[in-house]
Amino acid sequence: MMDDSTKTSVSRRLASTSGHIKGIKRMVDEDAYCIDVIQQIQAVQAALNKVSGLILDSHLRSCVTTAIRGDDPAERERVLEEVTSVFEMSSKI
């Protein structure tokens, strides 16, 4: 679970990213120069990667740490598999 500070930061970044996406849509609707659109898309992707990193960091420091310190080996494996699967999915994109 995210702490309040992380949640606030993630929410702000997502709100900003949402605004950028609306701007990209407007650029497309107005037939903006393709490279300009691509650069804005890349900026949004970088922002989303930052959000993902913040959430992953929070997850590692809370849920994963709790599972690793816990007494249930099946839960430790499940959490580790979960984190591994996220990285496997991102490498396929």
pLDDT value of residue 92: 77
Decide if domain 4-92 falls under CATH 1.20.58.1000.
yes
| pLDDT (average), residues 41-61 | 96
Evaluate whether 53 touches 90 at the Cβ level (below 8 Å).
no
pLDDT value of residue 32: 98
Token pair listed for 49: 């990667």
Q: How confident is the model at residue 38 (pLDDT cuts 50, 70, 90)?
A: very high
Note the pLDDT tens digit of each residue in 4-26: 999 999 999 999 999 999 999 99
Amino acid, single-letter form, for residue 88: E
pLDDT mean across residues, the chain: 94
| pLDDT (average), residues 52-57 | 95
Cut 0.85: pTM above it: no
pLDDT value of residue 60: 93
